[in-house]
Amino acid sequence: MSQKDPCQKQACAIQKCLQANKYVESRCEDVIRAMRKCCEAHRGVNSVCCSGFVKEFKATEEKT
């Protein structure tokens, strides 16, 4: 049996917020921030939900 994605709750919150706000990202900054925080906390865990955020972290690290 596979484990539940550690950031699935935050990913669902983003989708719910975006749908409720007609996909205006600026209205969902708080839930997006919570997702980034979760993904950063669970680095190294194979998370489907965090796949886009992991790419973002790597790009940021390469710039510094």
- Please answer whether residues 47 and 5 qualify as being in contact, where contact means their C-beta atoms are separated by less than 8 angstroms: yes
Who wins on pLDDT, 48 or 10? 10
First to last CA, the chain: 39
Who wins on pLDDT, 2 or 51? 51
Domain chopping of the chain, boundaries: 8-63
User: Looking at residue 1, what is its pLDDT?
Assistant: 38
User: Looking at residue 58, what is its pLDDT?
Assistant: 63
Tell me yes or no: is domain 8-63 CATH 1.10.287.1130.
yes
The stretch 10-33 carries a mean pLDDT of: 97
